[in-house]
Structure 1
Amino acid sequence: MASTSLENIEDKEQEDPIRCIFFVEFHHIAGPKITCQVPDNYISKDIFDNVSVYIIPKAQLQRSTITITLKDYKILGFPVKIDDKKYARNAFYFNLCFVCDANARTVHYEPVVKKMSDFLMALEIENCFLSATDDKTRLAEMLAQVMQDLNLHKMCTLTEGTMTSHLKVVRLAPEPKPVLDHQVPIFLEDRDTFQNDQWDLTTQQVLPYIDGFNHVARIAAEADVENNLVKSCVQNLVYYGVVTLIPIFQYSNVYAVTPKLRKLPDDVKLQERCIAYASKLARQPAHFRDIYRMYSSMTYGVSMKDLCQRLNPQNLRINERRLVQFGLIEGLIRRVYNYPVLLPGASCSEEAKNNPIYKYFTGTYSLDEICCSTGQSAAQIEDIIERDPNVLMIWK
């Protein structure tokens, strides 16, 4: 799973190269102006004049990451002010800017822009590298090297005199999808492997209720934390790889195997982790053949209740709830969701007219979502569906 995520990140970064790097300084008479850019004239004077007030901003925005999006460009900069009486107006202002396509993701370039700006500031303080002359040949060579190396290798080493700076584009995980009420957060590693105090107070309040079975809405209620705050906390934990999200466990659930189940018989380490995770007792672990038989028996039309009655996992020393958890985390199985649909054109009964739950019978809400939204149990909703011949259940 991690390798797939990393491949997606790498592909995304390949699609978002640096198109241009330019250097702006504030002239005490002419105002902000581009004194060096690679490639030449990529940013025209007209475009620059439209945004120059943001490139060399007011004092309160100095040393802050600034992103400006135009029609075709996204400009990322880190304006710097060096106070010294030797400069006109007693200060030297500059900004090193990266330019990408307007729809590019640039957050992974922010630390690079800041670090390179700090390097140029150190050179300026040390020997007036930026302000001593109008000849920006050496600076242009630096900008060209940085753009080429970062686009090709995601890293670059700059050396000027006795000073060196190592620049590296750190790969960032994509933003996680919004967290939904009916989703269940589960730890990817033992919760004792990290310290609670490294998280904010709200997250610390939520963490004890993350057990792999409580869904987000229930966690919010039990932790007495506002629902949207819990979602934000869980989304943050997903981003940092502490938890992942799985469906609610119920014995009426139906699961189906995925192609990844094929690797379980051949991957010894995965087998060992699966046995340790799904066994009822560590001192008497379940047999792998029994675990594999349970997984391979999961298919459309077979609920967990049916499976447990047929195979009796308790006698096999298998904890069926944890077996499902492990299968979902590793992608060996997937949940088959059920979606109630009111047939179009069907004449509504009095119950249908008066029961607000029918507004969810559109085929776009799963039974899990309906349960969380209405507070009714799956059995109650299924009873309504069974009594109304105009409502069908779609499994997918």
Structure 2
Amino acid sequence: MEKSKFFEGCGKEGPIRCIFLCEFHPIAGPKIMCQVPDDFISKEVFEAVSVYLIPKAQLLRSTLTITVCKIKILGFPVRIDNKNYARNFFYFNLCFVCDSWARTVQYEPVVKKLSDYLTVLEVESSFLSQREANYCQEKRLIDMLDQVMVGLNSEGMCTLIEGNSSTHLKVVKIRSDPPPVLDHQVPVFVESLESFQGEQWDLTTQQILPYIDGINHVAKIAAEANVENNLVKTCLQNLVYYLVVSMVPIFQYSNSYAVTPKLRKLAVDRKLQEDCLRTVAKSGWQLPNFRDVFKLYCSMTHGTTIKDLCIRYNPSSLRIDERKLVQFGVVENLIRRINKYPVLLTEGVTGEASHLYSYFTGLHSFDEICCNLGVSSEQLEDTIEKDSNVTIICK
């Protein structure tokens, strides 16, 4: 079972097993300066791959990955040229070691950033090349590598401070690009803002953050923040990529939703239930009954609007906020929005209605049309009801 679960190329992430620093010694040639934990990489294994860890000049400052003896070594070789060194250069490579099956692309920026930090320390104070002559310096280097490995494995981040120099390392998961953000979508926070520091955001993102309230759609955020629309969408797509926000449909009481197969998970997953109750509660001090929440979700079907559910169950009396209920369900994929798409059955519409009717192709939803033209859902519905040549597809 274990062999079938973990294999090279399986795409699963694994912990850092070892961090070591190797150099090209002017007398001994390639050698390991230090490693954490000690003796994880044997002399035989290192000698077998040293030609790749201390490579030719063409591969300097390149990310190198080597798989050997059931381990994967990720390095970033660096050479500092200076006539003060024995051979007029100092050549080193910081390496992370993982299991051979583990995905390591997420560590590549960290290895490069840590290598650059060590380069700065070496240029400023000979931190690496003079370590053998200074026991405290050698111990500090070992402690530093140990701090990095423990911090990245447990928290995915760590901060190093050496003298007046410091660096912050963070493992960022590499994901596929999220779908394009649309004008009529609403950003909803799925990660607490307190988890991030202000300086982590670019200026444009900081400018739009106050307008993300789970109600404003993208076009409205751009208008209120006085930021160009495409810039807002770029910032929001970045926040979606890093799982800070999720994009959901505009909330309206005329909306209809349908449950997804994932609703079954809500019935058995205790943590998901607790997150759900905290999120959908009308007030923070008194949580609703889970049975009532689950009943409301199960009642979401084709043709049943949120207004119908509110009339039938009165969520406020059950201590449930219907807006938060819908948003949590969409973010967690417990429910999905049933969109309406108007379709014009004839051709050749002219006059004032031609611009509106150009959207009636079956490719534009009510939300998109209302947002682009600045009309309400009720106005659009009235227009369609008066015209027998227009039908609505729900999907």
CA distance in 2, matches of 1:116, 1:281: 49
Matches within 5 A, 1:273-292: 273-292=275-294
- Between the two proteins, the alignment pairs up a number of residues equal to 297
Match of 1:270 in 2: 272
TM-superposed CA distance for 1:272, in Å, is 2.4
Tell me the amino acid that sits aligned with residue 226 of structure 2: D
Matches within 5 A, 1:118-197: 172-177=173-178, 178-197=180-199
- Over the matched positions of the two proteins, sequence identity in percent amounts to 51
Q: TM-score, normalised by structure 2?
A: 0.61
TM-superposed CA distance for 1:119, in Å, is 9.1
CA distance in 2, matches of 1:84, 1:234: 49
Choose the corresponding residue for 1:257, options 256, 259, 262: 259
Matches within 5 A, 1:240-251: 240-251=242-253
TM-superposed CA distance for 1:271, in Å, is 2.1
CA distance in 1, matches of 2:12, 2:286: 48
TM-superposed CA distance for 1:171, in Å, is 6.5
**Unaligned segments of structure 2, at least 5 residues:** 1-5, 14-47, 52-57, 65-74, 95-103, 131-169
Match of 1:293 in 2: 295
- The CA deviation string for residues 364-383 of structure 1, in whole angstroms up to 9 with x for no partner, is 22221222222222222222
- The CA deviation string for residues 278-313 of structure 1, in whole angstroms up to 9 with x for no partner, is 121334432222211111000111111122122221
8 Å contact 2:182–2:233 — kept in the other structure? Answer: yes
1:386 pairs with 2:385 = yes
Matches within 5 A, 1:1-396: 11=10, 80=79, 82-84=81-83, 109=108, 111-112=110-111, 172-177=173-178, 178-343=180-345, 346-351=346-351, 354-396=353-395
CA distance in 1, matches of 2:301, 2:344: 25
Tell me the amino acid that sits aligned with residue 271 of structure 1: Q
Local SS of the residue matching 2:271 = helix
CA distance in 2, matches of 1:80, 1:189: 41
Q: Structure 1 residues 228, 327: closer, same or farther in 2, change over 3 A?
A: same
Q: Structure 1 residues 108, 371: closer, same or farther in 2, change over 3 A?
A: farther
Local SS of the residue matching 1:275 = helix
- The CA deviation string for residues 206-255 of structure 1, in whole angstroms up to 9 with x for no partner, is 11111111111111111111112212221222222221111111111111
8 Å contact 1:176–1:238 — kept in the other structure? Answer: no
Local SS of the residue matching 2:257 = strand
Local SS of the residue matching 1:379 = helix
Local SS of the residue matching 2:361 = coil
8 Å contact 2:63–2:108 — kept in the other structure? Answer: no
Tell me the amino acid that sits aligned with residue 280 of structure 1: K
8 Å contact 2:187–2:214 — kept in the other structure? Answer: yes
Deviates further, 182-191 or 321-330? 182-191
Q: Structure 1 residues 202, 86: closer, same or farther in 2, change over 3 A?
A: closer
Q: Structure 1 residues 356, 194: closer, same or farther in 2, change over 3 A?
A: same
Q: Structure 1 residues 84, 329: closer, same or farther in 2, change over 3 A?
A: same
Q: Structure 1 residues 66, 295: closer, same or farther in 2, change over 3 A?
A: same
Deviates further, 382-391 or 77-86? 77-86
Match of 2:143 in 1: none
CA distance in 2, matches of 1:107, 1:281: 40
Tell me the amino acid that sits aligned with residue 362 of structure 1: T
TM-superposed CA distance for 1:256, in Å, is 0.6
**Unaligned segments of structure 1, at least 5 residues:** 1-6, 15-36, 41-51, 57-62, 68-75, 97-104, 127-168
Local SS of the residue matching 1:340 = strand
Local SS of the residue matching 2:343 = strand
TM-superposed CA distance for 1:387, in Å, is 2.0
